[in-house]
Amino acid sequence: MTRVGAGVTLAAMFGLGATELLIILGIVVLLFGARRLPEIGSGLGQAIKNFKAGVSGKDEIDVTPKKEELGERSSTKPSSSS
């Protein structure tokens, strides 16, 4: 059994043994091919990293206009001269 964290085992957590995991890995290799597995793994890792960053609440860029900016934009409309 593989231990993770505070005594929780992968087999108890997901109900999967080594044989089942090998079968799933074999199916994944058949479906996607051995060349694409690193791409899939890095994409999955990047998705998890972005998800964690998004959940933590640290916004990198806030593009929401402030109320002051909205008031200035509506009051300074360009005049049309014809």
The domain containing residue 48 runs over which residues? 8-54
Instruction: Give the tokens for residue 18.
Output: 């080594």
Contact 33, 24 (CB under 8 A): no
Q: Rounded to a whole number, what is the distance in angstroms from the first to the last CA of the chain? A: 81
pLDDT of residue 79: 59
**Model-wide pTM > 0.75:** no
pLDDT tens-digit series, residues 17-47: 889 989 998 998 899 888 888 998 899 999 9
Residue 32 lies in a domain: yes
Residues 6 or more apart from 17 whose CB is under 8 A from it?
A: 11
- The total domain count for the chain is 1
Residue 33 lies in a domain: yes
Cα-based distances in Å from 38 to 11, 21, 29, 54, 82 = 25, 18, 11, 24, 62
What is the percent of the chain where pLDDT is above 90? 20
What is the percent of the chain where pLDDT is above 70? 61
